[in-house]
Chains A and B, each alone.
Chain A
Amino acid sequence: MTAPTDRGVVWLGSPTFPDAARTALLDTQLRANLKRATTTIRAKRHAAATELDDWEALRDSAAAIKRRTARHLGRYLVQLEQTVTAAGGIVHWAGDAAEANRIVTDLIRETGETEVVKVKSMVTQEIGLNEHLLDAGITAYETDLAELIVQLGDDRPSHILVPAIHRNRTEIRDIFAAEMGRWGRPAPEDLTDDPAELAEAARQHLRHKFLTAKVAVSGANFAVADTGTLVVVESEGNGRMCLTLPETLITVMGVEKVVPTWSDLEVFLQLLPRSATGERMNPYTSTWTGITDGDGPSRFHLVLLDNGRTDTLADTVGREALACIRCSACLNVCPVFERTGGHAYGSVYPGPIGAVLTPQLAGIDRAATLPFASTLCGACYDACPVKIDIPALLAHLRAGVVESERARRRLPTAEAMTMTAAATVLGSPALFDAAQKAGSLGSRAIARDGRIGRLPGPLRGWSATRDTPALPAESFRSWWRKNRDSDR
């Protein structure tokens, strides 16, 4: 695979996952916030999923629909272009982040506006649209409550669905009090950290934007190829405002979001809210098909984004990640995410799905530590509504990282040398037997009461909180040879 052009996705200059995680773990407030939030949402999701008798059948259907659509993606995308165009929309094709940003910027400039409202969208985070617009003199206002918290705090999202999951309500109060005035209507002076008061402050702050904005930018959860209908699901109603009030609507959508028909959509509309927020149904589901005279935006643009997706599709194993519907169930059940939070992943897509999606979209060398940011415990696979076998994908991408390292470096890494040596030893029972004997002598020499304490080098981290058992005097094979082989 050739090195990709800059596709965004990852935050440039981010430390590796182990380094970022080490820092994040020291933040006890962050860990407390995350533990509380993930524990609550896990229980809700579990209840919402298990109350349905046909939950497993729904997962199977969703997995089949996504995989079939991916196999015929080109056909469905062309069909979508035709149906959207027939309904009065204008379709644009963007190969990568830079092209999508350029298209959206030009479309906004054509309107003469310098401010846009935004519906929460992962794909515009992926391409870094807000930053790009700012450079072009256009201010994008996030209207989702959590995205607003992130934007006002000059922060980065740390979760796909709950981007401010790393913040508690006291921190949110402080951000609102300090920053709202710089972006528009200030927060009330006597603002407390009461959730209702915080929501009201956000509502008042955003109201003016909704009523004055002439242009909105959104992502899409789904697009129905059959009818050219775009779908956004949300909880707060901010999306509905953005999708209906402005004159121009620009939707940026990853090409994998297309579904063939409304019958297919029905499956996902059951799975997504239950997996995401643990609700039977999300409060707002907005659907629109092109433009309608006198009702909603009079201009609609759809930007179809590739940005690494067709490369991902070319990998018959890795392509499974494209089935993701961005519900975040895998993040919420992940024991690693629960400890480190999302920022440690250095990507707009954190957590288990981020660990398999980011290296594929951005290029494996730009996220080489992410496939290793998992114990392969499998909780993500069990929670995934579209049955992405994330542990299998992680193992697959680890092989990709090792292959890439081997191809790039003239000298092998210390790890590669260790692994090669281990393979040689394990490839020969005689060498293995000799290594066991040497290891037994050596480890018992440094052990105390059969336990080895702190160790230097690559085992420093491991041995900081764990004792390691010394090898026993006799291996199993040695015992067998002495006690059993002679019997036969």
Chain B
Amino acid sequence: MRVALFVTCFNDTLFPGTGRAVLTVLERLGHTVDFPPEQTCCGQMHFNTGYRPEAASLAARFARVFAGYDAVVTPSASCAGMVRDGYPLLAERHGDGVDEQRIADIVPRVHEFTAFLTDVLGVTDVGARFPHRVIYHPTCHSLRGLRLGDRPLSLLRAVRDIDLVELPGADSCCGFGGTFAVKNAETSGAMLADKTAEVRATGADVLCAADNSCLMHIGGGLSRQGSRVRTMHLAEILAATERGAS
């Protein structure tokens, strides 16, 4: 199986450790992972802000760059959701320069990282150890977009020495919503305030999720409030081992 990492422009730029963690986990499981350097962005920001021609051209690039791989793995539920739900629409309605067949070929081969582990590789125990109190926030695109359900939690439950506690109100949005947090910063901030209060009340050391964008938002709020709760992509928890754990 030829596996490519789509790290996403956001992780590439801000959270390179998440990309390395995905490599660590997949290589530990015996897979070779390629990183096609021509990759950039899935186009989600442009699509969700209304800039469809720009999104279409990024979608065309994505389909070209990742053609030929059996599986494209990405540590972002929202970017995986963009490919799955947005690309067919872009191919249909903004056809110029977007090869519909190429899009149709690539869409089913793009996998969110946790779904790739559980559904494609059939693994829940990835050999990780993480001796900390952890809460999991199912981001909206994990929960209601990709319907990841229990998959991320099944992976976390298999981590050695983890103290996994429940986050109350976990299914509510943190208020990020991409450009929403800029255009409607105060409304977003009101949602964030409720989310950070719930996170802090759990007494957890680490908040994890399958998307760094929501984690950057919640983490940005926690940091401003002077909270000690750390935010980590769950790939980084799955990558941690006896030696590597902090």
Contacts and interface: CB of A to CB of B under 8 A. Distances in A.
B35 A484 contact: yes
A402 B48 CA distance: 11
Interface stretch (A1-9, A61-69, A263-271, A469-477): A469-477
A132 interface: no
Contacts, number: 183
Interface stretch (B7-15, B118-126, B236-244): B7-15
A426 B61 CA distance: 10
A336 B38 CA distance: 38
B140 A21 contact: no
A419 B13 contact: no
Nearest to B139: A377
Nearest to B35: A480
B144 A379 contact: yes
Interface of B is mostly: helix
Interface in A1-26: 17-18, 21-22, 25
A22 B184 CA distance: 8
B45 A477 contact: no
A379 to B, nearest CB: 7
Contacts of B13: 436, 439, 471, 475-476
Contacts of B175: 335, 375
A83 interface: no
Interface in A293-312: none
Nearest to A428: B40
A486 interface: no
A44 to B, nearest CB: 17
B49 A472 contact: no
Nearest to B140: A377
A402 B51 contact: yes
A112 interface: no
Contact of A392 (B11, B85, B186): B85
Nearest to B45: A422
B40 A432 contact: yes
Given A422-B46, A480-B37, A475 B177 contact: no
Contacts of A420: 54
B144 to A, nearest CB: 4
A103 interface: no
B50 A429 contact: no
B49 A423 contact: no
A400 interface: yes
B173 A465 contact: no
A402 B50 contact: yes
Interface stretch (B66-74, B106-114, B215-223): B215-223
A467 interface: yes
Interface residues of A, number: 67
A466 B37 contact: no
A465 B47 contact: no
B193 interface: yes
B47 A395 contact: yes
A340 B221 contact: no
A432 B20 CA distance: 19
A427 B58 contact: yes
B39 interface: yes
A479 interface: yes
B20 A476 contact: yes
Interface in A341-360: none
B182 A479 contact: no
B47 to A, nearest CB: 7
A460 B182 CA distance: 9
A43 to B, nearest CB: 13
A459 B182 contact: yes
Contacts of B57: 423, 427
B39 A429 contact: yes
A88 interface: no
Contact of B140 (A375, A422, A461, A472): A375
Interface residues of B, number: 63
B168 interface: no
A476 B173 CA distance: 28
A384 to B, nearest CB: 12
Nearest to A453: B224
Given A18-B184, A25-B187, A459-B182, A401 B38 contact: no
Given A25-B190, A466-B224, A476 B51 contact: no
Nearest to B51: A419
Contacts of B192: 465-466
B24 interface: no
A188 interface: no
Nearest to B174: A375
A476 B54 CA distance: 24
B19 interface: yes
A419 B173 contact: no
Nearest to B173: A377
A485 B35 CA distance: 9
Contact of A25 (B39, B47, B140, B186): B186
Contacts of A79: none
Contacts of B179: 372
A381 interface: yes
B216 A469 contact: yes
Contacts of A22: 186-187
Interface in A364-387: 369, 371-379, 381-382
A373 B51 contact: no
Given A21-B184, A429-B37, A465-B192, A377 B47 contact: no
B220 A461 contact: no
A470 to B, nearest CB: 9
Nearest to B191: A335
B58 A423 contact: yes
Interface of A: 17-18, 21-22, 25, 31, 335-336, 339-340, 369, 371-379, 381-382, 392, 395, 398-403, 415-416, 419-420, 422-423, 426-429, 432, 436, 439, 451, 453, 458-462, 464-469, 471-472, 474-477, 479-481, 484-485
**Chain A to chain B: the 10 pairs with minimum beta-carbon distance, closest first:** A461-B185, A375-B177, A466-B220, A398-B50, A378-B144, A402-B50, A377-B173, A476-B16, A423-B54, A377-B140
Interface of B: 7, 9, 11-14, 16, 19-20, 35, 37-41, 45-52, 54, 57-58, 61, 85-86, 140-141, 143-145, 171-173, 175-193, 216-217, 219-221, 223-224
15 contacts: A21-B186, A22-B186, A31-B190, A335-B191, A369-B183, A373-B187, A375-B140, A375-B176, A382-B144, A402-B51, A426-B9, A462-B188, A466-B220, A467-B223, A468-B220
Given A379-B172, A432-B40, 5 more contacts: A392-B85, A426-B9, A461-B186, A461-B189, A472-B14
